[in-house]
């Protein structure tokens, strides 16, 4: 509203004596019609005509400021749309809680420490201990595999590959992120399972003294397979964000390191990595959020045994999200509530992880903006 | 290991220190592979994959010590890290190549007219035919409705954040838009299940919860909204301030400036963001699984009756016991990837062609 001209300015500068619009002082009364949102056709009102109303003073016939005009309506519309996001987040919480409470009250066991999931029996007995374990283990495997490789690719694309190759490859990596998770699940179930089974047999043969790799065949549909498929899925997320941060490293910092005689790796270690650390941490957190919440790929590759064990190669394993997808079909009233309760736990965990990641990115953004 | 290939002293008259010649690296690689093959096959430890892995490790160790002997330890560390970074890249290309290859080779098996012209209605375990017509219709309708809901909402929300919003409240919205992009798709499905299917839809359906394509569209909207707001917001911020100021100086009110100047300038970018979010929504399985019901028959009406979707079709066929199901699953996956990638690539090319000059 600050760009609206005041009436007093109109009175003093553009009186009835002004006949030619070109003669007016710049910005005085040029187009009062447009200012108040009338259609553009009648915008340049000649000053003489404006006084036919016979009011007092030069500004007498200016359109009155409306209390509720197009401007306010539009503003309100956008405000409502913007608020929608907050409404949805709150609504998700409210409705999940509302549907979860009856099921939790019907639960005959401790929801947090029970391993079994018998939500459709009477009395219902279910808990998320084993599911949460499977969720965390598969996400940890995914990150252990994906983070070093993703950082390697990000550095390769930002500092090693020549520019044209880097553009094409970066594009390909982004496409990898666009492939739907059901396709990765299918690939994991029908193709990737064979090498992973061979790897499991090999690990079991030589490393069975480690608690992760002991146990007996059959191998294959295990947390290891799920975790590796997840690793391929989070790889592009971590890569693209880290690459962006690495490319933002100030050239001055890099050149200063090189001028002091640093080798390329020393330059990366002293200039690029410290600068990119918050961004890398944030990208890993985003990847973690994705890995924790991934549903279909795990629902297709895990073996579904609700146990807590360190073993990652035996058939078995289950995660919160995969349990929802696979258990939903035969769930009754209490069963649905139980699945919604587990979904609420997942929602809370991913919300916290994402909020931490975003908080890191935001702090960093302020830092870079003030530096630029 | 490679001392035989060292250059003679004084051979390099430049200001550089002594460098290991390229032949030396090749030699180290050959020796490393040979040694690792001898270890793996000699002791029966493993096959060619393990040979490659051990060969790579040996190569790096070899390079480190050879370079350290000739060029010094700092250069050695530099070369080893460089080799590690390059091999990380090769490692990531392998699954990409494998996914692409299997998708195309296995997906072409059923990529025929029958697949696109028939549904899975009355297709038993012994029938080799059957198709995804019903699923494709479901995907198109659900994504279409979701887009109709989300595009106005998302663009207006972004306008509020960029053009009107000030202070803590706007910061809160921006923050939660970002957080919301990370919500697991299954949670969006559960939300619509709890809110629409179990609470609202019984009003219209004689008290029984109704699974429908519209519910799936609602769940997809929850997933699409934050991505559209985010990308639109970024595009609006790129619109140069002088364009807005020029419009204000001509006396155009703010809302009209936004609709007539800012949005048209940012339009290609906004469209790109919308297309990317549509592509992402088209691939989502979990929410559709929870709220659409998944019918095997053709259902054109998204508001009544259960509906399938292409990604759900892939999921169902992958878990089906019929020996003809995997071929259908792969062809479904190929169709889905083709749809998603065409949208994505078109969006990115559009973004590249119409970049706003800063």
State pLDDT tens for residues A342-351.
999 999 999 8
Residue A149: strand, helix, or coil? helix
pLDDT at residue B9, rounded to an integer: 54
pLDDT at residue A198, rounded to an integer: 85
Q: What angle do CA A145, A304, A342 make, to 5 degrees?
A: 85
Interface of A with B in 104-133 (CB under 8 A): none
Instruction: Give percent above pLDDT 90 in chain B.
Output: 31
* Same domain (yes/no): A283, A134: yes
* Same domain (yes/no): A50, A152: no
Strands A117-118 and A125-126: antiparallel
pLDDT at residue A241, rounded to an integer: 87
* Same domain (yes/no): A37, A164: no
- The answer to whether the beta carbons of residues A313 and A224 sit under 8 Å apart is yes
Lowest-pLDDT choice from B6-15, B63-72, B278-287, B326-335 = B6-15
A219 - beta bridge partners?
A314
- The answer to whether the beta carbons of residues B285 and A295 sit under 8 Å apart is yes
Q: With bands split at pLDDT 50, 70 and 90, how would you rate the model's confidence at B32?
A: confident
For testing contact with chain A, the best of B19, B40, B56, B92 (most A CBs within 10 A): B92
**Per-residue DSSP letters for B231-291?**
HHHHHHHHS-HHHHHHHHHTT--HHHHIIIIIHHHHHHHHHHHHHHHHHHHHT--HHHHHH
Angstrom distance (rounded) from CA A48 to CA B274: 50
Write out chain B residues lying below 8 Å of A92, CB-based.
183, 187-188, 191, 222
Residues in chain A: 372
Instruction: Write the CB contacts of B156 (distance below 8 Å, at least 6 apart in sequence).
Output: A77, A78, A80, A81, A82
DSSP A27: T
Range of the domain at A329: 117-371
Q: What is the pLDDT of residues B235-250, one digit of tens each?
A: 899 899 999 999 999 9
Interface ipTM: 0.85
* Same domain (yes/no): A52, A155: no
Q: Which of B63, B54, B69, B97 is nearest to B7 (CA)?
A: B69
Interface of B with A in 109-128 (CB under 8 A): none
Tell me the angle at which helices A320-327 and A333-371 cross, rounded to the nearest 10 degrees.
Answer: 140
* Same domain (yes/no): A40, A156: no
* Same domain (yes/no): A184, A250: yes
Question: How close, in Å, is residue A9 to chain B by CA atoms?
Answer: 15
Q: Is residue A73 part of a domain?
A: no
What's the average model confidence in pLDDT over B102-129?
84
HSE-CB at B154 with a 13 A cutoff on CA atoms is: 31
Rounded to whole angstroms, what are the CA distances from B341 to A170, A178, A363, B229, B350? 15, 7, 34, 22, 14
Q: Is residue A110 part of a domain?
A: no
pLDDT at B204 over 90: no
What residues in chain A have per-residue pLDDT under 50? 1-58, 369-372
Question: How close, in Å, is residue B31 to chain A by CA atoms?
Answer: 25
Q: Is residue A282 part of a domain?
A: yes
Q: Is residue A165 part of a domain?
A: yes
Q: With bands split at pLDDT 50, 70 and 90, how would you rate the model's confidence at B226?
A: very high
* Same domain (yes/no): A232, A295: yes
* Same domain (yes/no): A8, A150: no
pLDDT at residue B179, rounded to an integer: 86
Q: Quick check: A230 contacting B, CB < 8 Å?
A: no
- Say yes or no for a CB contact (<8 Å) between A346 and B186: yes
pLDDT at B267 over 60: yes
- The answer to whether the beta carbons of residues B17 and B71 sit under 8 Å apart is yes
- Say yes or no for a CB contact (<8 Å) between A156 and B86: yes
Output A115-119 pairs: Cβ under 8 A, ≥24 positions apart.
A115/A306, A115/A307, A115/A308, A116/A306, A117/A306, A117/A323, A117/A327, A117/A338, A119/A327, A119/A331, A119/A334, A119/A335, A119/A337, A119/A338, A119/A339
Interface of A with B in 38-97 (CB under 8 A): 43, 70-71, 74-75, 77-86, 88-89, 91-92, 95-96
pLDDT at residue A2, rounded to an integer: 41
* Same domain (yes/no): A33, A125: no
Angstrom distance (rounded) from CA B224 to CA B281: 7
Q: Is residue A71 part of a domain?
A: no
* Same domain (yes/no): A140, A230: yes
| CATH number for A234 | 1.10.3720.10
Q: Is residue A164 part of a domain?
A: yes
Q: How many domains does chain A have?
A: 2
Q: Is residue A90 part of a domain?
A: no
pLDDT at residue B247, rounded to an integer: 93
Write out chain B residues lying below 8 Å of A181, CB-based.
283, 285
* Same domain (yes/no): A292, A354: yes
- Say yes or no for a CB contact (<8 Å) between A85 and B344: no
Q: With bands split at pLDDT 50, 70 and 90, how would you rate the model's confidence at B17?
A: low
Q: Is residue A112 part of a domain?
A: no
Lowest-pLDDT choice from A52-56, B96-100, B160-164 = A52-56
pLDDT at residue A370, rounded to an integer: 44
* Same domain (yes/no): A41, A155: no
Domains present along chain B, CATH in parentheses: 3-107 (no CATH), 116-353 (1.10.3720.10)
């Amino acid at each position: 509203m600050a760009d609206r001209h005041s009436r007093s300015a109109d009175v003093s500068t553009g009186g009835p004596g002004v006949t030619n619009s070109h003669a007016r002082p710049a910005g005085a009364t040029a187009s009062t019609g447009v200012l108040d949102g009338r259609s553009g056709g009648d915008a340049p009102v000649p000053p003489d005509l404006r006084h036919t109303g016979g009011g007092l003073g030069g500004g007498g016939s200016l359109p009155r400021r409306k209390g509720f005009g197009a401007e306010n309506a539009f503003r309100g519309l956008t405000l409502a749309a913007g608020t929608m996001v907050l409404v949805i987040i709150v609504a998700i919480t409210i409705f999940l809680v509302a549907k979860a409470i009856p099921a939790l009250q019907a639960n005959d066991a401790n929801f947090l420490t029970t391993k079994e999931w018998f939500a459709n029996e009477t009395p219902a007995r279910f808990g998320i201990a084993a599911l949460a374990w499977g969720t965390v283990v598969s996400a940890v495997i995914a990150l252990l595999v994906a983070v070093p490789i993703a950082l390697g690719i990000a550095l390769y694309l930002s500092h090693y590959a020549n520019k044209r190759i880097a553009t094409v490859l970066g594009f390909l990596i982004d496409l990898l992120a666009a492939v739907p998770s059901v396709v990765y699940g299918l690939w994991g179930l029908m193709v990737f399972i064979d090498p992973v089974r061979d790897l499991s047999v090999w690990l079991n043969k030589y490393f069975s003294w480690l608690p992760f790799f002991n146990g007996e065949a059959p191998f294959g549909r295990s947390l290891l397979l799920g975790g590796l498929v997840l690793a391929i899925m989070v790889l592009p997320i971590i890569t693209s964000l880290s690459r962006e941060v690495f490319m933002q490293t100030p050239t001055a910092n890099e050149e200063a390191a090189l001028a002091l005689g640093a080798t390329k790796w020393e330059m990366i270690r002293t200039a690029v990595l410290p600068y990119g650390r918050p961004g890398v941490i944030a990208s890993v957190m985003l990847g973690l959020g994705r890995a924790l919440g991934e549903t279909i790929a795990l629902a297709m590759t895990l073996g579904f045994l609700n146990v807590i064990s360190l073993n990652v190669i035996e058939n078995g394993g289950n995660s919160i999200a995969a349990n929802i997808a696979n258990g939903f079909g035969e769930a009754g009233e209490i069963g649905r509530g139980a699945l919604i309760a587990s979904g609420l736990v997942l929602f809370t965990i991913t919300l916290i992880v994402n909020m931490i990641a975003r908080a890191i990115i935001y702090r960093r953004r302020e830092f870079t903006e003030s530096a630029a | 290991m490679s001392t035989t290939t060292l250059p003679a002293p004084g051979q390099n008259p430049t200001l550089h220190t002594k460098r290991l010649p390229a032949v030396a690296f090749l030699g180290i690689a050959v020796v490393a592979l040979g040694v690792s093959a001898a270890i793996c096959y000699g002791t029966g430890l493993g096959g060619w994959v393990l040979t490659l892995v051990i060969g790579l490790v040996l190569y790096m160790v070899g390079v480190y010590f050879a370079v350290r002997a000739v060029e010094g330890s700092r250069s050695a560390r530099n070369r080893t890290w460089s080799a590690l970074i390059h091999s990380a890249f090769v490692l990531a290309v392998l699954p990409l190549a494998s996914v692409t290859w299997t998708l195309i080779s296995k997906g072409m098996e059923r990529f025929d007219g029958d697949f696109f012209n028939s549904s899975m209605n009355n297709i038993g375990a012994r029938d080799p035919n059957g198709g995804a017509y019903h699923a494709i219709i479901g995907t198109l309708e659900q994504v279409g409705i979701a887009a109709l809901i989300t595009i106005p909402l998302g663009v207006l929300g972004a306008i509020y954040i960029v053009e009107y919003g000030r202070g803590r409240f706007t910061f809160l919205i921006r923050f939660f838009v970002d957080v919301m992009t990370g919500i697991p798709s299954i949670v969006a499905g559960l939300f619509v299940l709890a809110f629409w299917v179990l609470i609202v839809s019984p009003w219209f359906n004689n008290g029984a919860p109704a699974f429908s394509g519209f519910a799936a569209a609602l769940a997809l909207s929850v997933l699409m909204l934050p991505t559209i707001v985010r990308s639109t917001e970024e595009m609006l911020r790129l619109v140069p301030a002088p364009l807005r100021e020029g419009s204000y100086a001509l006396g155009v009110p703010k809302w009209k400036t936004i609709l007539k100047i800012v949005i048209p300038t940012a339009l290609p970018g906004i469209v790109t963001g919308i297309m990317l979010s549509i592509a992402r929504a088209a691939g989502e399985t979990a929410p559709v699984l929870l709220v659409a019901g998944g019918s095997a028959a053709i259902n054109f009406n998204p508001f009544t009756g259960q509906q399938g979707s292409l990604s759900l079709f892939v999921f169902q066929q992958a878990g089906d016991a019929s020996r003809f199901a995997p071929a259908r699953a792969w062809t479904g996956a190929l169709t889905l990837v083709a749809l998603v990638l065409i949208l994505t690539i078109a969006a990115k090319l559009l973004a590249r062609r119409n970049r706003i000059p800063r």
